Amino acid sequence: MGGCAFCDPEISFKQGNIDRVLYGDDDLYVAIPREPAMRGHLLVVSKKHIEDIASVTEKDWTVLLKMMIVSSVVSKLLMKIDESIKKV
């Protein structure tokens, strides 16, 4: 898909037998970056490539809202496990 590092989790977040995708559905996925910036660093990524905010459709906004909800739930779970993990 056009060289975007995030559009295809199969390429960006799987290396041999290592799968860093923790969750995925038709719209988005949650993955551990190759080089996390800090403990608990996760990425929540839309499966649809969007180059320009002006091109966002109503469905895209729904997915973006879903991404925010997933991010919030994941961060709350991580913070319960380890209080040193913060939502950024």
Which tens digit of pLDDT belongs to each residue from 8-48?
777 778 777 778 888 888 888 888 888 888 878 888 888 88
Which residues fall within 8 angstroms of residue 76, CB to CB, at 6 or more apart?
A: none
* pLDDT band at residue 62 using 50, 70 and 90 as cut-offs: very high
Residue 84 Cα distances to 12, 14, 15, 62, angstroms: 27, 27, 29, 31
Q: Is 25 a member of any domain? A: yes
Question: What domain range includes position 25?
Answer: 9-81
Of the two residues 62 and 34, the one the predictor is more confident about is 62
Query: The domain that contains 42 carries what CATH number?
Result: 3.30.428.10
- The tokens for 29 are 């996925």
State the DSSP code for 79. Answer: H
75: Cα within 13 Å, side-chain hemisphere: 13
Quick check: pTM over 0.75? no
Give the total number of structural domains in the chain.
Answer: 1
